[in-house]
Amino acid sequence: MKRLMMAAGAAVALGAPGLAHAETSCADLAKASLPHAEITRATVEKAGQGEACRIAVTSRPTKDSDIRIEVWIPLGQAWNGKFVQLGNGGFAGQVPSGQLRAIAGRGYAAAATDDGTRPLRAPTRRGRSAIPRRSSTSAGGRSRRPPRSARRSSPSRRG
């Protein structure tokens, strides 16, 4: 599945600059057809001193997939002809749009993905995450302190 995500991102990133050189508008890139993916948005955005085409893609290679991909391509003479793929260690949680904007502002076409690892639940109204906090178990699997119900009263020592 990771290969498919990389292939979709690469197809858009590598195919779109060729289209951009042929003077295809950013809006026309939204009409491109990709297998197992849909271009959900293609807009012109400010990036550094120039502008870039920001392309958002949602890939669903399987029924339970929901992978977000973004590609930024500097427009016109701003593009230096080079491409940067951002990595994320395998558990991204979100697309780093700010980093992509900064890289495109330096003239590079850039792409990134969230690897389909966004949080499953939205934040609550109070701004706290609805995702449960970690248990009392620390890294390594040892308990810092057992819950009260699990504590045993120890017999007093007399000596």
How many whole angstroms separate alpha carbon 54 and alpha carbon 72?
A: 5
Structure tokens belonging to residue 86: 């951002």
Whether 129 maps to a domain, the answer reads no
pLDDT score at 115: 84
Total of domains in the chain: 1
Whether 85 maps to a domain, the answer reads yes
Residue whose token pair is 């900064």: 102
Bridge-based pairing of strands 109-113 and 67-74 is antiparallel
How many whole angstroms separate alpha carbon 59 and alpha carbon 50?
A: 29
Q: Which residues contact 49 (CB under 8 A, 6 or more apart)?
A: 78, 105
* Domain interval for residue 93: 2-113
**Per-residue confidence at 18, pLDDT binned at 50, 70, 90?**
very low
**Per-residue confidence at 56, pLDDT binned at 50, 70, 90?**
very high
Whether 53 maps to a domain, the answer reads yes
Strand partners, 111: 71, 85
Whether 123 maps to a domain, the answer reads no
Whether 153 maps to a domain, the answer reads no
What's the chain's Rg over C-alpha atoms?
A: 23
Average pLDDT rounded to a whole number, residues 41-69 = 94
Whether 8 maps to a domain, the answer reads yes
Whether 100 maps to a domain, the answer reads yes
How many whole angstroms separate alpha carbon 42 and alpha carbon 55?
A: 4
Q: What's the predicted TM-score (pTM) here? A: 0.62
pLDDT score at 24: 78
152 pLDDT above the threshold of 70: no
